[in-house]
Amino acid sequence: MWIVQIALRRPYTFIVAALLILFSMPFVLSKMATDIFPQIHIPVVAQLWEYRGLTAKEMAERVTFQAERELGQAIDNIEHTESFSVAGLGIVKVFFQPGTDINTALAQTTMSANGAARGMPQGTQAGRVRAWSASELPVVQLSISSDTLSDIEIGDAAGTVLRPIVS
């Protein structure tokens, strides 16, 4: 209530304040960061496993689980891991403690992938390893299912219909 009383007694003060805000806008906007999401410096490494013909459940049980188990035994400074599997594809993301050297993390994760590949079903493509920035990770994940379509048909529909709409 007190601010209203001051505004009524001294209207020029508020007019000058509003003009200062208005005229400083171009300067402030030119200095403002244009990226919506901030840079996050958390070391993240991802393993990509591929085995065509397996359903998402089989991929999780036979490939992704094996890769995660090997990670826990062979790598230092893991904060946590996340994984997901779709038909024929498994991705394991390894989040390291802040300050972990990304090159060491990549080397250890590659060694882990090579070790895990020995226990995978024959024909599994060796886990490809890539460093990710947490800023590059997806903001939204979409899950679709169908009672009438197979997993392969759902994947095709997602890639040809949904992906262009969402991108």
Q: What is the per-residue pLDDT for 21?
A: 94
Q: pLDDT tens digit string along 25-40? A: 999 888 887 766 666 7
Structure tokens that stand for 148 in this block: 């009438």
Name the stretches of the chain with pLDDT < 50. Answer: none
Contact 90, 49 (CB under 8 A): yes
Q: What is the per-residue pLDDT for 135?
A: 66
CATH 3.30.70.1430, applies to 43-134+141-161: yes
Q: What is the per-residue pLDDT for 136?
A: 67
Q: What is the per-residue pLDDT for 99?
A: 84
Three-state SS for the chain is CHHHHHHHHCHHHHHHHHHHHHHHHHHHHHHCCCCCCCCCCCEEEEEEEECCCCCHHHHHHHHHHHHHHHHHHHCCCEEEEEEEEECCEEEEEEEECCCCCHHHHHHHHHHHHHHHHCCCCCCCEEEEEEEEEHHHCCCCCCCCCCCCCCHHHHHHHHHHHHHHHHC
Q: What is the per-residue pLDDT for 165?
A: 82
